[in-house]
């Protein structure tokens, strides 16, 4: 079965790897899209509903703001504390509702998004909190509306940090996508599981590791490139922020 | 132009409650440059923020250019703010936008369309002397240049009033002078009323027409500088002409004589020494240009008997000089 002298072994390996990579990329990119669409507003609301924030008193009530803040904070903490494998299984009914099945790469997008959204929301929160509050004051003094402040001041100023946060989130998604292989979710993790674990093929495992490594490094490089491009400044210590320093910050914050 | 009437503001609750502003009232005339001076924590930052309602007062009303700012709806407040410019100590520029972009931000907020934005931004940058740097980013600018951008941004909406929150406190003396020059030019050419807060008396000396002294949330003194100078006991006037401590070992009577307007160039001291035959010693002196006029204060030690001293002092007072015995 693992006869490396058999040419069919190698052509099968390539087929399997191409399929697996394609599935992984598909799962990760769609999950990423969903994560950004839901996670960005979530992070903005999380910061905005704090005391003194832009949305501190939605509908004129500070109590409403406090309630929204607590609820969102709870959801985010919940999402970040449940181990992914358990989350994957726990949301099976929900996955079936949304996608029609709980097996396969498309179904895997549901738990992947659910775990990435709170993660990214926290990254957005950190990025927004780094912005000098004086900028919001200046925007208010110009007569800007809350929406204008979010769109024209907060998001552009937080962009470099958010891009780095996005890179960390993607790495996380790729990480978790490997686990969906254990429940027939497809992808490179599935390849590693079926061939590496069930059929003891070390070559498959090594190939998967190399491919994932390349994907992650490429994404990190792209994110850092764009973060530098939009930064137009250096951090207070004079060093440009990198994915590593951002991860340290996340570890500190929780 | 700006009318602050019985404004109070406190922060915190219960035992930690601090009264930042205590029944503060002041008037800034149209076209005037008004300076509020005070130590850190005196309340000046809170005070200036109530004018455009970045801080909402607990009591009192504020009127700017005929509009009662304290009772506007959110939407009307935003519109009113577009007519009130503000510059900050730490500039508060968007690092993600160029100089031009920062100025255009103000215009975008107002709703000015693309082409007109560009034209208007260009005009303002010309006014503050930054046309050459229009495409630079704030990270590439010096402190003085950043503050010019801040000023340009605040002028975009053609405001009638400019609020300055320690605009020069983070700048070196020479840059401070050039920014103050710019403010004075804008005040003169655009008829812009300026309300500024500062802890530096130099700023008041250089450009203000009127001033107020704020202490522990209360206005201790206010008035036009030219009047304050000839007001005996005025602390603002004393701070405008700092003469330091009286040196130890002085035996005679020490008097401070304040000159303003015409009296500054008369040979008062020489005449005093000659007419009363006393050996007057000068312990300190300073002459400044306040609101365009020369004014000064001299500290003299007058030796001799109480009668001679009294005669000398009444002679000086008869000439219209402000004489205070230290």
Q: Do the chains contact at A157 and B94, CB–CB below 8 Å?
A: yes
Residues of chain B with CATH 3.40.50.300: 2-224
Strands B293-302 and B281-290: antiparallel
Task: Please answer whether residues A170 and A162 qualify as being in contact, where contact means their C-beta atoms are separated by less than 8 angstroms.
Answer: no
What pLDDT is attached to residue A247?
59
- Per-residue pLDDT tens for A7-20? 788 888 888 888 88
Asked whether the predicted pLDDT for residue B245 surpasses 60, the reply is yes
Structure tokens at A43: 């992070």
Considering only alpha carbons, which residue of chain A is nearest residue B87?
A: A138
CATH class for the domain made up of B241-325 = alpha beta
Most B-contacting residue of A57, A127, A142, A159 (CB-CB within 10 A), to test interface? A142
% of chain A at pLDDT higher than 90: 28
| Closest Cβ opposite residue B90 in set A134, A140, A141 | A134
What pLDDT is attached to residue B311?
86
What pLDDT is attached to residue A237?
39
- Mean model confidence pLDDT for chain B: 89
Q: Specify whether domain B2-224 bears CATH 3.40.470.10.
A: no
pLDDT band at A238 (very low <50, low <70, confident <90, very high): very low
**Could you state, in order of their start, the residue ranges of all structural domains in chain A?**
7-253
More confident residue, A244 or B144: B144
- Does B169 lie at the interface with A, CB-CB under 8 angstroms? no
Considering only alpha carbons, which residue of chain A is nearest residue B156?
A: A142
Asked whether the predicted pLDDT for residue A184 surpasses 70, the reply is no
Q: Do the chains contact at B82 and A142, CB–CB below 8 Å?
A: yes
Residue A78: which H helix or E strand, with range?
Answer: helix A62-81
- Per-residue pLDDT tens for B104-153? 999 999 999 889 999 999 999 999 999 999 999 999 999 999 999 999 99
What pLDDT is attached to residue A94?
87
> What is the pTM assigned to this prediction?
0.83
- Per-residue pLDDT tens for B35-60? 999 988 888 999 999 999 999 999 99
- Does B87 lie at the interface with A, CB-CB under 8 angstroms? no
More confident residue, B321 or B132: B132
CA distance A216 to A219: 5
What pLDDT is attached to residue B141?
93
Asked whether the predicted pLDDT for residue B65 surpasses 60, the reply is yes
Considering only alpha carbons, which residue of chain B is nearest residue A228?
A: B96
- Per-residue pLDDT tens for B163-222? 999 999 999 999 999 999 999 999 999 999 999 999 988 899 889 999 999 999 999 999
Chains A–B, number of C-beta pairs less than 8 Å apart: 70
Structure tokens at B65: 């250019």
Asked whether the predicted pLDDT for residue B262 surpasses 80, the reply is no
What pLDDT is attached to residue A103?
78
Homologous superfamily in CATH for domain A7-253 = MetI-like (1.10.3720.10)
Q: Angle at which helices B99-110 and B143-155 pack, to 10 degrees?
A: 20
- Per-residue pLDDT tens for A77-112? 988 888 888 888 888 888 888 888 777 888 888 889
Asked whether the predicted pLDDT for residue A203 surpasses 50, the reply is yes
What pLDDT is attached to residue B2?
93
Shortest distance between the Cα of A158 and any Cα of chain B, in A, equals 9
Q: Show the CA angle centred on residue B97, arms to residues B96 and B101, nearest 5°.
A: 165
pLDDT band at A234 (very low <50, low <70, confident <90, very high): very low
Closest CA to A208 of A27, A16, A29: A16
- Does B10 lie at the interface with A, CB-CB under 8 angstroms? no
| Closest Cβ opposite residue B109 in set A132, A134, A142 | A142
Enumerate chain A positions whose Cβ falls within 8 A of a Cβ in B: 132, 134-135, 137-145, 148, 152-153, 156-157, 159, 230, 232-234
CA distance B142 to B139: 8
């Amino acid at each position: 079965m693992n006869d490396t002298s058999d040419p069919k072994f190698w052509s099968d390996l390539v087929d399997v790897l191409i399929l697996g990579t394609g599935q992984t990329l598909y799962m990760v990119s769609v999950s990423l899209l969903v994560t950004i669409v839901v996670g960005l507003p979530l992070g903005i609301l999380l910061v905005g509903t704090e005391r003194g924030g832009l949305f501190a008193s939605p509908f004129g009530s500070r109590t409403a703001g406090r309630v929204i803040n607590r609820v969102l904070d709870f959801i985010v903490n919940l999402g970040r504390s449940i181990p992914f494998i358990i989350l994957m299984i726990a949301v099976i009914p929900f996955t079936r509702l949304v996608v029609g099945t709980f097996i396969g790469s498309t179904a895997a997008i549901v738990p992947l998004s659910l775990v990435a959204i709170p993660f990214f929301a926290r990254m957005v929160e950190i990025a927004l909190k780094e912005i000098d509050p004086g900028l919001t004051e200046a925007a208010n003094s110009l007569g800007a509306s809350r929406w204008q402040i979010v769109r024209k001041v907060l998001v552009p100023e937080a962009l470099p940090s958010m891009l780095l946060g996005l890179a960390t989130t993607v790495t996380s998604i790729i990480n978790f996508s490997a686990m969906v292989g254990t429940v027939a979710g497809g992808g490179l993790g599935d390849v590693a599981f079926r061939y590496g674990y069930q059929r003891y093929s070390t070559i498959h495992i090594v190939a998967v590791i190399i491919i994932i490594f390349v994907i992650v490094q490429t994404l990190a490089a792209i994110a850092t490139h764009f973060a530098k491009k939009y930064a137009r400044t250096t951090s207070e210590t004079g060093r440009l922020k990198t994915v590593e320093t951002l991860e340290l910050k996340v570890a500190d914050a929780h | 132009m700006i009318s602050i009437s019985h404004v109070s503001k406190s922060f915190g609750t219960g035992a930690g409650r601090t009264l930042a502003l205590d029944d503060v009232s002041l008037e800034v005339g149209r076209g005037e440059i008004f300076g509020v001076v005070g130590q850190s924590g005196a309340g000046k930052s809170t005070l200036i923020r109530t004018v455009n309602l970045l801080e909402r007062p607990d009591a009192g009303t504020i009127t700017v250019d005929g509009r009662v700012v304290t009772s506007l709806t959110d939407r009307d407040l935003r519109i009113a703010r577009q007519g009130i410019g503000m510059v900050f100590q730490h500039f508060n520029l968007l690092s993600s936008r160029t100089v031009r972009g920062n100025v255009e931000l103000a215009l975008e907020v107002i709703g000015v369309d693309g082409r007109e934005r560009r034209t208007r931004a260009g005009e303002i940058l010309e006014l503050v002397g930054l046309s050459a740097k229009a495409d630079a980013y704030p990270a590439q600018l010096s402190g003085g240049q950043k503050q010019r951008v801040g000023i340009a941004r605040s002028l975009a909406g053609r405001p009638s009033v400019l609020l300055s929150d320690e605009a020069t406190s983070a700048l070196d003396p020479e840059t401070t002078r050039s920014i103050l020059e710019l403010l004075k030019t804008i005040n003169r050419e655009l008829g812009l009323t300026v309300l500024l807060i500062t802890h530096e008396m130099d700023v008041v000396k250089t450009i203000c027409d009127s001033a107020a002294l704020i202490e522990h949330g209360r206005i201790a003194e206010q008035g036009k500088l030219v009047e304050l100078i000839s007001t005996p006991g005025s602390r603002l006037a004393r701070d405008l002409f700092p003469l330091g401590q009286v040196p130890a070992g002085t035996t005679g009577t020490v008097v401070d004589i304040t000159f303003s307007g015409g009296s500054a160039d008369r040979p008062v001291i020489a005449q005093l020494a000659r007419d009363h035959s006393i050996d007057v010693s000068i312990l300190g002196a300073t002459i400044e240009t306040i609101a365009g006029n020369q004014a000064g204060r001299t500290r003299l030690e007058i030796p001799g008997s109480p009668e001679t001293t009294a005669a000398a002092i009444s002679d000086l007072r008869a000439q219209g000089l402000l004489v205070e015995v230290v």
